[in-house]
Amino acid sequence: ETIKGEHLKKQFLSNQIINQQDSYDVNYQEDQNNDKYVLFYFHQYANFVLWGILVDIGIIVNRYGILLKNKIEIHAIIMSIAVLPSIIVELFMIISGNTPNLNGNQNLQGVHSIIGYIFLAFIILQTIGGIIIKFGIQSVKTQTHLKIKSLLHIILGYTIYLLGKIQLGFGYYMTYADLKYYGKGDIISFWCVYAFIFLWRIIFEIFYQKGQIYSIFTKNDRKQKEHSKTLQESLLVQYIEQNEQSQIYNEFQSKLWLIFNNEIIDLTGFFHPGGQYIWEKAKGREVSRFIYGGCGLEDGTAQQYPHSKNAITLLKNHVIGSLNNITFAIPIHENTINSTQWNLATITKLNDKTSYFGFTNSQYQIISQFTTIHSFGKYFQIQSLKSTKTPIRQYTCIISMAPENVAYRKELVQYIETIVTTQQQAKIPQQTKYLQELPLIIKCYESKNGFSQYIHNHKDEIYDIQGPYGPPHGIPNRGKIVIICGGTGIFPFLDLLDFILKTIVYQIALNKFGKQIADSLNPFDCQYNTNIHITLFFAAANKQELLGTDILFPIIQLQKFLDKEFVRLIIKIKDKIEGIETVDERFSKGMFDKFLGKILDYQRFLICGPPQMQASVPNILKEMGVQNQHIHFI
C-alpha cells in the first residue's frame, strides 16, 4: 500500500513538474505566436535592429562620411529609419501596455519604462535639433551658434546611443535571462548578443583608426575623379591659371572652387560641416591657412580651426587642376632627389619681435630674383620635423630680403643716385645669381604651441619647407591697384615692390644712358616694362615696425626722376617721416576717399594685415562702392 502510495505520489509530483515545464514551454510558444503580443515582438526585434545596429551605421556615416557628397542626407535618412518606427512602437507599447509572460528579471521593468519615456522625448528632441542643424549647415547665410548646436547634437546623440544600448540590455534581460526552459544557457546567449551590439562597432573603429577602411574610401574616390574631368572643369582651370577673374566671375559663379597650395579644387555640391557660409566666403581663395588653422575667416565669423586629415583628403580627392609652378630652388646636381628638408642656419633680429631666418639645403641653390611681375605673392609651407605639436604655417616668399639682395639694393640705389646727380657713369653693382640661404621673415606671436614662437627658439634644426605655393596676386601689367596692409602684412608685397624699384632704376638708366647701360643692370632678363600704379596704404604701430623701408623710400625718391609715378605711399603712423605722406588716423571711408578719388579707376584692392584690419577694411571699401570680386585678401 505504502509502496503503491509512494509511487503514486512520485508520479503525481513528476507530472506536476512536467506540467509546469510544459506550461512554460506552451506559454512561451503561445506568446510568440499570439497576435495580441505582436506589438511587443515588433518592439523587441525593431529596437534590436534599429538601436543595436542601424544607429551605429548612421553615426559612422556622419563621422567618417566627410568624403560623401550627401552625407547629411544619408545620416538623416538612416536616423529617421531608426527614430520613426521607434516612436511608433513606443507609443503603441505605452497605449496597449501588452506584454507576454516575461521570463527574465522583471524587477527591471520599472527602470525600462522610465528610460523608455526619456528615450522617446530625447529622440524627438534630437530629430528636431537635427533638422535645425541641417538647414543651418546648408544655408549660405552666416550662422551664429551653429558650433554650439552641433556640439549639443553630438552630446545628446551619444546619450541617446548609450541609452539605446542600455535599454536593449534591460529589455532582453527582462525577457529572457531566467527562461527556465533553456536553463542557464540562455544567459550566455544573452551576453553574446549584447556583446555583439557593442563589439562590431569597436572592431570597426579599430580598423578605421588603423587607416584600413579609410584608405579603401580614398583610393576609389581618387581613381574615379581622374577619369571624369569635364570640359567645364578644364575651362575653369584654364581661367584660374590665367587669372581671368571676370570670366570666372561671369561663367562659374555657382562653382565652389578653392586653391589648396598649388592645387585647384572643385567642391561644388559639398557642404561644409561648420556651415556652408564658410565655403561661400572661402570660395575662389587659397585655403591652406584655414585648413591648418593658421587663420580664421577675416570677418571674424569663424575662428582658427586646425582640420583633420579627412579635410585634406576631401580636398585632394577633388583636384581638377594645378597652378603653374614657379621654382626658387635649383638642384645643384642632376640627380638630386627631391628634398624638402632645410636646416635653419641663421636667425638675425630685425626688430623687437621680428627676425630674418636663413635656411640651407646642400642639394639646392636659391635664385636671387624672379623675372616677371606674376611670380610674386607666393608663400612657403613650413613645419617643424622635431615638434609634432607645432602646427604647419605659411610664410611669404621674400627673396628681396636675403642679405645679398639687401646689400645689392643699397649699392644699386647709391649707384643710381650718383649717376643722376653727377650725370656720369659709375661702377655698375652686380647682383649675385644665387642666394646662400632661403630667406623668411617671421614675427613672433605669443600663443600656445604656436609655430612662430617655436622657430624663434629653435635654430640649427631641420624644417620641412614646401612651395612656393599659392595663386599670384593677379597684379596686372598696367592700370591702377590699391594695397592696404598693416605690420607684417607688407611682407607679401616686398618682392613686388623690390621689382618695381629695379624697374624704376632700369628706366632711369635707360633714359639717361641708353639700352646698353640699362641692360647691364638687368643680367637676369627681368621684364622691367611694367606700367602699373600702386597706391600703398601701410599701417604701422611705430617706426620699428616699418620693415621694407629700404625698398619703399628709394621708390618714392627715385621715381621723381621719371615722368610717371609707380607707387603712391601713405603710411599710417604717429610719427612724421620726411618726404613721405603720413596720416595718424584709422583707415576710414573719408580717408580712402581723400587719397583715392574716383574709386572705379582701380582694378584691385589687395588687403593684408592684422585680424582687426582684415575685418574692417573690406566693409569700408564696399561702402565706397567697390565690388566684392575686386577685393582680395592676400
Ligand X SMILES: Cc1cc2nc3c(=O)[nH]c(=O)nc-3n(C[C@H](O)[C@H](O)[C@H](O)COP(=O)(O)OP(=O)(O)OC[C@H]3O[C@@H](n4cnc5c(N)ncnc54)[C@H](O)[C@@H]3O)c2cc1C
Which bin fits 376, alpha (ψ -120 to 50), beta or left (φ > 0)? beta
Query: Which residues, at least 6 apart from 95, have a Cβ–Cβ distance to it below 8 Å?
Result: none
> Helices (H), strands (E): how many in the chain?
20, 18
Q: Across the beta sheet with 434-435, what order do the strands follow?
A: 329-331, 364-367, 434-435
Query: Which residues, at least 6 apart from 404, have a Cβ–Cβ distance to it below 8 Å?
Result: 368, 431, 432, 435, 436
Per the CB < 8 A criterion, the answer to whether 511 and 558 are in contact is no
Pairwise CA distance, residues 443 & 453, whole Å: 8
User: 266 has which bridge partners?
Assistant: 257
**Does the footprint of ligand HEM cover residue 282 (CB under 6 A)?**
yes
φ and ψ at residue 602, rounded to 5 degrees? -100, 135
Q: Which is nearer to ligand HEM, 151 or 195 (CB)?
A: 151
H or E segment and range at residue 504 = helix 491-513
**Does the footprint of ligand X cover residue 491 (CB under 6 A)?**
yes
The cell for 462 is 631641420
Strands 364-367 and 341-349: unpaired
Judged by CB under 6 A, the chain residues 536 through 575 that form the site for ligand HEM are none
Pairwise CA distance, residues 494 & 403, whole Å: 14
Orientation angle between helical segments 55-64 and 185-210, nearest 10 degrees: 10
Could you give the string, one character per residue 416-445, with x where binding to ligand X holds by CB under 6 A and - elsewhere? -------------------------xxx-x
Distance in angstroms between the alpha carbons of the first and the last residue of the chain: 111
Pairwise CA distance, residues 499 & 567, whole Å: 12
- Among ligand HEM, ligand X, none, the one that 290 touches (CB under a kind-dependent 5 to 8 A) is ligand HEM
Q: Which is nearer to ligand X, 599 or 615 (CB)?
A: 615
464 closest CA partner among 446, 438, 435, 441: 438
Binding piece for ligand X, criterion CB under 6 A, among 26-34, 67-75, 200-208, 447-455: 447-455
Q: Can you tell me which residue has the cell 518606427?
A: 85
What amino acid occupies position 612? Q
**Does the footprint of ligand HEM cover residue 315 (CB under 6 A)?**
yes
Could you give the string, one character per residue 207-246, with x where binding to ligand HEM holds by CB under 6 A and - elsewhere? ----------------------------------------
Q: Which is nearer to ligand X, 65 or 611 (CB)?
A: 611
Q: Tell me which of 136, 157, 169, 274 binds ligand HEM, using CB under 6 A.
A: 274
Per the CB < 8 A criterion, the answer to whether 49 and 78 are in contact is no
Q: Tell me which of 314, 397, 518, 571 binds ligand HEM, using CB under 6 A.
A: 314
Q: DSSP label at 116?
A: H
> How many residues line the site for ligand X (CB under 6 A)?
23
- Among ligand X, ligand HEM, none, the one that 450 touches (CB under a kind-dependent 5 to 8 A) is ligand X
CB of 131 to ligand HEM, least distance (A): 17
Binding piece for ligand HEM, criterion CB under 6 A, among 92-100, 273-281, 341-349, 405-413: 273-281
**Does the footprint of ligand X cover residue 453 (CB under 6 A)?**
yes
**Does the footprint of ligand HEM cover residue 259 (CB under 6 A)?**
no
HSE-CB at 130 with a 13 A cutoff on CA atoms is 22
Binding piece for ligand HEM, criterion CB under 6 A, among 240-248, 304-312, 468-476, 592-600: 304-312
Q: Tell me which of 71, 75, 272, 473 binds ligand HEM, using CB under 6 A.
A: 272
The cell for 88 is 511608433
Per the CB < 8 A criterion, the answer to whether 85 and 123 are in contact is no
Pairwise CA distance, residues 463 & 449, whole Å: 16
Binding piece for ligand HEM, criterion CB under 6 A, among 37-45, 88-96, 274-282, 328-336: 274-282
Q: Tell me which of 109, 310, 371, 453 binds ligand HEM, using CB under 6 A.
A: 310
CB of 221 to ligand HEM, least distance (A): 14
The cell for 534 is 600702386
Q: Which is nearer to ligand X, 319 or 392 (CB)?
A: 392
**Does the footprint of ligand HEM cover residue 305 (CB under 6 A)?**
yes
CB of 539 to ligand HEM, least distance (A): 24
Q: Tell me which of 375, 396, 522, 559 binds ligand X, using CB under 6 A.
A: 396
Q: Which is nearer to ligand X, 401 or 569 (CB)?
A: 401
Per the CB < 8 A criterion, the answer to whether 390 and 486 are in contact is no
366 closest CA partner among 333, 410, 332: 332
> How many residues line the site for ligand HEM (CB under 6 A)?
23
CB of 450 to ligand HEM, least distance (A): 17
**Does the footprint of ligand HEM cover residue 133 (CB under 6 A)?**
no
**Does the footprint of ligand HEM cover residue 273 (CB under 6 A)?**
yes
Pairwise CA distance, residues 630 & 481, whole Å: 10
Query: Which residues, at least 6 apart from 390, have a Cβ–Cβ distance to it below 8 Å?
Result: 383, 384, 449, 450, 451, 454
Q: Tell me which of 201, 281, 393, 630 binds ligand X, using CB under 6 A.
A: 393
Per the CB < 8 A criterion, the answer to whether 47 and 87 are in contact is no
Q: Tell me which of 331, 429, 472, 610 binds ligand X, using CB under 6 A.
A: 610
- Among ligand X, ligand HEM, none, the one that 287 touches (CB under a kind-dependent 5 to 8 A) is ligand HEM
Binding piece for ligand X, criterion CB under 6 A, among 1-9, 261-269, 429-437, 446-454: 446-454
Q: Which is nearer to ligand HEM, 274 or 554 (CB)?
A: 274
The cell for 86 is 521607434
Pairwise CA distance, residues 216 & 583, whole Å: 59
- Among ligand HEM, ligand X, none, the one that 559 touches (CB under a kind-dependent 5 to 8 A) is none
**Does the footprint of ligand X cover residue 488 (CB under 6 A)?**
yes
**Does the footprint of ligand X cover residue 447 (CB under 6 A)?**
yes
Pairwise CA distance, residues 202 & 537, whole Å: 58
**Does the footprint of ligand HEM cover residue 64 (CB under 6 A)?**
no
**Does the footprint of ligand HEM cover residue 290 (CB under 6 A)?**
yes
Binding piece for ligand HEM, criterion CB under 6 A, among 118-126, 205-213, 286-294, 375-383: 286-294
Pairwise CA distance, residues 232 & 238, whole Å: 10
Q: Tell me which of 86, 313, 361, 394 binds ligand X, using CB under 6 A.
A: 394
Q: Which residues bind ligand HEM (CB under 6 A)?
A: 66, 147, 150, 258, 272-274, 278-279, 282, 287, 290-291, 296-297, 302, 305, 307-308, 310-311, 314-315
Q: Which residues bind ligand X (CB under 6 A)?
A: 289, 294-295, 379, 391, 393-396, 441-443, 445, 447, 450-453, 487-488, 491, 610-611
